Amino acid sequence: MDIVTRSIVVGIIATGLMDVWALALARFAGIPPTNWGIVGRWFAHLPRGRFVHADIGASEAVANEKAIGWAAHYIIGIVYAWALLVLAGPAWRVAPTLLPALLIAWITVGAGWFILQPGLGLGIAASKRANANQIRMLNLIGHTVFGLGLFIGAVLTR
């Protein structure tokens, strides 16, 4: 399997596992999943030159923002899978181990904390939210699940 196809498959597996985790949290712990429509709204405003919103919920709605958010979520997962497959190298692609997948997943938490959350108006690492520590912990756990998905996807596609 070429690296592009493998990145797509691994990224979808890892992102899908992360979404299953979010559904389980919603069902059993009452923690609402990410609102991908709001994320889509943020992405749709980027070409308009709007990178930071005081409150993304108060920003102008965009057609198909939910679909844009979901697509962005999976495309980013695929890009992260590609980065893992490239950075970990050919030997890892043949015999995947867990640690590199987890390291990529943990590093990518930074994109949410330092790009997406400030852009949505939540502050760095959700610092403007009353439950910032809970959000941070959920981000770390969610990305750990994503890392497990990267590893599982890499094993299944080797």
> In the predicted model, what is the mean pLDDT of residues 107-130?
97
Whether residue 104 has pLDDT greater than 90 = yes
Q: Taking the CA of residue 13 as centre, how many other CA atoms within 13 Å lie in the half-sphere pointing to its CB?
A: 20
Q: pTM value?
A: 0.95
Give pLDDT tens digits for 58-102. Answer: 999 999 999 999 999 999 999 999 999 999 999 999 999 999 999
